[in-house]
Amino acid sequence: MLTVVDLLQLALKEIGVNGVGQSVLAEDLNDGLKKLNMMISQWNQRRWLVYQLKDLSVVSTGATVYSIGPAGDFITSQRPTTIESAYVRQRANTNLPIDFSLKVIQSMEDYSRIAVKQATSFPTAVFLNPNWPTGQVFFWPVPQAAIYELHVVVQVVLERYDNLNSPLGLPPEYEEAVLYNLAFRLAGGYQVDPMHTTVALAKAALGTMRQVNTRIPELLMPSELARTDSINIFSGQ
């Protein structure tokens, strides 16, 4: 299994800083680890570089706001910056739980336009305020306690590495992308220009990640704009 130190040694060889059979200085390895973690943090903000989404849930407590993060109501290793989708599951007065999609409010400006934020009723919208280190999740209207199961779908962040012996811990197709993009980043610190092949491989590997991870949801038309006189070419109706 590829470890962080293996990756750094390969990256330094790629830019010609470390030769065959030479030992890498501890200072270079530690600096490389820091730059690797910086790169991973940047990648976490690009949806197409994150390979997995996770459905997080809590039972409604009647609270106005729920925390999300390592020690939040919604527990994640790091606080997310966006909600990809959300829904609410009705738990009470039904033999079969029913899920209802929620509108994701994208900005604080839009959330601030809600006139009565303390209104209590069936929730229809959700807003994430990405505070650090713990985010805040607001459901509106405020769901009553114990009646609903609240779900948010967020990106599973790519983990930062604590030490040089940590395994890379990513799907195999990520190895080349991490290697060549890290080599590209390390080159500047040694005042060397990466080879054209290194740059090309870094771009190609990122292109592969985009192709593998991009998921385009089906376009939904607002009911006010939907046509009722169109024909389904498959059913003829």
> Residue 172's pLDDT is what?
92
Determine, yes or no, domain membership for 80: yes
Question: Are 76 and 56 within 8 A, CB to CB?
Answer: yes
Q: Which of 209, 210, 198 is nearest to 175 (CA)?
A: 209
Which pLDDT score is estimated for 67? Answer: 97
Please state the φ and ψ torsions of residue 131, each to the nearest 5 degrees: -60, 160
Query: What is the structure's pLDDT at 213?
Result: 87
Flag residues of the chain having pLDDT under 70.
19-21, 94, 220-237
What's the pLDDT at 11? 96
pLDDT in tens, 58-105: 999 999 999 999 989 999 988 899 999 999 998 877 678 889 999 999
CA-to-CA separations, 113 to 52, 124, 131, 138, 201, in angstroms, rounded = 33, 15, 20, 14, 47
The Cα–Cα gap between 145 and 138 comes to 14
Question: Which of 106, 127, 155 marks a domain boundary?
Answer: 155
Domain membership of residue 77 as a residue range: 53-155
Is residue 234 assigned to a domain?
Answer: no
What is the structure's pLDDT at 73?
A: 96
H or E stretch at 108: helix 108-112
What pLDDT digit, counting tens, does each position of 181-201 carry?
999 999 999 999 999 999 999
Task: Determine, yes or no, domain membership for 64.
Answer: yes
Q: How many domains does the chain have?
A: 2
CATH number at residue 206: 1.10.3230.20
The reply to whether 163 and 191 lie within a common domain is: yes
Task: Give the pLDDT score at 222.
Answer: 63
Question: Residues 70, 95: one domain?
Answer: yes
Q: What is the pTM of this model?
A: 0.80
d(CA 54, CA 76): 9
Domain contains 220? no
